[in-house]
Amino acid sequence: MEKAEYKEGIAAIGIDLGGTKTEAVLLSPDNTILFRGRKPTLREGGYEAVVLQVAEMVKEASAKLSPNIPYTVGIGIPGSIDSVTGLVRNANSTCLIGHPLQGDLERLLGHPVSVRNDADCFTLAECRAGAGQGFGLVFGVIMGTGCGGGICINGEVREGPHRIAGEWGHYSVDPNGAECYCGNRGCVETLISGSGVEEAFFREFGERLTMDEIVSRARRGEEHSVLAFDRFLDAFGRCLGGLISILDPDAVVLGGGLSNIDELYDAGSERVRRYAFHERITTPILKNALGDSAGVFGAAWIGQR
Ligand SMILES: [Zn+2]
């Protein structure tokens, strides 16, 4: 294949390491897409298989560049890196937990690597090129299998001394709630993530339904799903309303599979306004504009810092 060429600057490789799929992008300095790839994540193979696959995808992308062209590598993961130990923590891809992902990738690639939470990557991408453009302080939310958050201030992601800024998903809001893999009970993630709602439904009604099924049955007026969906919207309002009271962001951008639930933007947002500490909350709660692509672009841009 012909090698990508351009005049000057540093190229950027981004990898979005998800629970089910891993995506790669190679961007030129002016953000032209030079290469994109997507593979199912080799989760069954455990940590070793996942790390090797990510390294292979980085090599595949970098092979599209002439050897003299410099590039950065950014990886977005569904978890965070402990600021002291450098080990992955609180990842809902649990095979990553406790491993020095950044160090292992750098050793395999012989190249510096930045590893960040996927919600940080999502928020940065939406602020630079999506629904968060033009807003000063943006809180980005990923609601999917898990639930995460990221804070972007004037185009820069806030990381914090413990590298946990925006880690809203593991804010414990219900001491009597479900156990979470992070060790707490009743985390935001157990209330408003797809897996959390599905588990709660099973505990209460003894039936295994997917989030999609719960939503569509609720829309048809089926009693149990109506109840579960109303609780979901109420928890969304309470958790996000509290967050808005603390951060008072200029905008909130929703991402992840659950961001396609239309009710979040009317009935859900109404609950947010009810719970936030102001009578006339006007904070825009916006659907993402980049869809599935936000994570991989954000990972590439995070790597450039
Ligand atoms: Zn938790």
pLDDT digits (tens, 9 = 90+) for 204-245: 999 999 999 999 999 999 999 999 999 999 999 999 999 999
CA–centroid distance, residue 167 to ligand 1 (Å): 10
How confident is the model over 247-256, as pLDDT tens digits?
999 999 999 9
Based on its alpha-carbon atoms, the radius of gyration of the chain, rounded to whole angstroms, reads: 20
Beta strands 21-27 and 11-17, pairing class: antiparallel
Q: What are phi and psi of 289, to 5 degrees?
A: -105, -15
Q: How much is the pLDDT for 7? A: 47
Q: Which residues are within 8 A (CB) of 158 and not within 5 positions of it... i.e. 6 or more apart? A: 151, 152, 165, 166
Span 256-273, pLDDT tens digits:
999 999 999 999 999 999
- Ligand 1 center–CA 255 separation, angstroms: 19
Tokens for 284? 């825009």
pLDDT of residue 175 exceeding 60 = yes
Q: What is the mean pLDDT of residues 182-193?
A: 94
* Per-residue pLDDT at 42: 87
Tallying the residues shown for the chain, one arrives at 305
Q: Where are the alpha helices (DSSP H) in 68-222?
A: 101-109, 118-129, 188-192, 194-205, 211-219
Distance 169 CA to ligand 1 centre (A): 7
* Euclidean distance between CA atoms 205 and 32, whole angstroms: 50
Backbone angles phi, psi at 88, to 5 degrees: -70, 135
Q: Band of the pLDDT at 83, cuts 50, 70, 90?
A: confident
- Rounded CA separation 81/88 (Å): 5
Name the band, by pLDDT with cuts 50, 70 and 90, for residue 14. very high
pLDDT higher than threshold 90 for residue 25? yes
CA of 180 to the centre of ligand 1 (A): 5
Quote the CA–CA distance of 242 and 245 in Å, as a whole number.
Answer: 5
Averaged pLDDT score across all residues of the chain:
92
- 69 vs 87: CA distance, rounded Å: 30
Q: Tokens 């970098």 map to which residue?
A: 62
Position 298 pLDDT exceeds 70:
yes
pLDDT digits (tens, 9 = 90+) for 84-119: 888 888 777 778 888 999 999 999 999 999 999 999
CB 19 within 8 A of CB 145: yes
Question: What is the pLDDT at residue 145?
Answer: 85
**Please, which residues have CB within 8 angstroms of residue 128's CB and are 6 or more apart in sequence?**
155, 297, 301
Q: Ligand 1 centroid vs 98 CA: distance in angstroms?
A: 16
| Cα–Cα distance measured from residue 73 to residue 61, given in angstroms and rounded to the nearest whole number | 10
Question: Can you give the pLDDT at residue 105?
Answer: 96
Region of poorest pLDDT, from 23-37, 90-104, 118-132, 146-160: 90-104
- 147 CA distance to ligand 1 middle (Å): 9
pLDDT at 3: 58
> Higher model confidence: residue 272 or residue 9?
272
The token pair at 177 is 């709630």
Helix (H) or strand (E) holding 157: strand 156-157
pLDDT at 255: 96
Residue 1 has pLDDT above 50, yes or no: no
Block residue for tokens 């999506």 = 130
Select from 140, 72, 143, 81 the least CA-distant residue to 112.
Answer: 72
pLDDT at residue 2 is higher than 70: no
Q: What is the pTM of this model?
A: 0.92
In whole angstroms, give the CA distance from residue 305 to residue 293.
20
What pLDDT is recorded for position 78? 87
* Centre of ligand 1 from the C-alpha of residue 196, in Å: 11
Q: What is the pLDDT of residue 6?
A: 52
